[in-house]
A and B are shown apart, each in its own frame.
Chain A
Amino acid sequence: MRADPRALRFSAIITTVVLALVLVTGSVWPSAAPVLLAAQALVFALGVAHRSPYGMLYKAFVKSAPKETEDARPPRFAQGVGLVFAVAGLVGYLAGITPLALVATAAALLAAFLNAAFGFCLGCETYLLIRRLLPAAKLEVPE
């Protein structure tokens, strides 16, 4: 499976904006933050299932073919890491554990920003670290 790197970058930018909004609304309009974060968690989950709404939005507007494509597995794995952080943040907001809500959301924002601004995939790099700690956590990844 191949992915359009421009669509991935576009998705990272929208994700960065949404997660920044979650943190901003959290301080001015507290009830909106978990709703927005839940929406982003859903987007991450759809991304894991190869149905990224941001990617589809990009494809709806940009018809040209990319100059080169890249392996879809690393960004898909990173969407899964994003989902874990978004769910942790959501639990924090809903259970009133503010430090958990803020730290988990900020961590997801950091990873999305590094991807959007520099093209670095922080989520991808956690894979080897997870495997080092949990050798049994091998994921089967058909090409």
Chain B
Amino acid sequence: MVLATLALGSVIGVVRLRRDGRVRDTAQADDRLVMADLGTDLGERATLVQFSTAFCQPCRATRRVLADVSELVPGVAHVEIDAESRLDLVRRLDIMRTPTVLVLDSSGNIVKRASGQPRKADVLAALAGAVSHVSSQNPDDM
């Protein structure tokens, strides 16, 4: 029983170490967040949306990473949402853990998503994708 539990823990731990904070693509027609959802303006070029709770140890470090990035890249906003006061959004977007970070393009489409603390380089790369996502869209759609 002890060995089985520790073995299971090791597997979970290693998988977590590899997956935590990895920035993934989201399905094309995933969802779109608008000003009313966020309670604030979208960034001009992209928005980093962070879901946090009070009982979340990596949320603070994540906040630092995203604040850094939004300062570094012009036109990028960082919005932090208290998950428990927005359970409607949490359910709609199927958020299971905090921190969860969503990368929105300029019109609020969710283009990337990471659960766990993302690395700064990955967020920058995701932003590059989010910005090109907009420019590659058919002008007729705009």
Contact = CB atoms under 8 A, between A and B. Distances in A.
A64 B54 CA distance: 28
Contacts of B10: 117
B27 interface: no
B16 A120 contact: yes
B114 to A, nearest CB: 15
A10 interface: no
Given A110-B9, A120-B16, A132-B87, A77 B1 contact: no
B55 A73 contact: yes
Contacts of A125: 97-98
B94 to A, nearest CB: 10
Contacts of A51: none
Given A128-B95, A128-B96, A132-B90, A114 B57 contact: no
Contacts of A73: 54-55
Interface string B1-22: 1101110111011001100000
Interface residues of B, number: 27
Most chain A Cβ neighbours within 10 Å, of B4, B12, B56, B96: B56
A127 B9 contact: no
Interface string A111-138: 0011001101100110111011001001
A124 B90 contact: no
Nearest to B14: A118
Contacts of A135: 87
A124 B19 CA distance: 18
Contact of A106 (B1, B55, B87, B98): B1
Contacts of A83: none
B53 interface: yes
Interface string A15-36: 0000010011001000000000
Contacts of A131: 53, 83-84, 87
B55 A77 contact: yes
Interface in B1-60: 1-2, 4-6, 8-10, 12-13, 16-17, 53-57, 60
18 contacts: A23-B1, A70-B57, A109-B2, A109-B5, A110-B8, A118-B16, A118-B17, A120-B16, A121-B57, A125-B98, A127-B53, A127-B54, A131-B53, A131-B87, A132-B91, A138-B84, A141-B54, A141-B55
Interface of B: 1-2, 4-6, 8-10, 12-13, 16-17, 53-57, 60, 83-84, 87, 90-91, 95-98
Interface of A: 20, 23-24, 27, 70-71, 73-75, 77-78, 102, 106, 109-110, 113-114, 117-118, 120-121, 124-125, 127-129, 131-132, 135, 138-139, 141
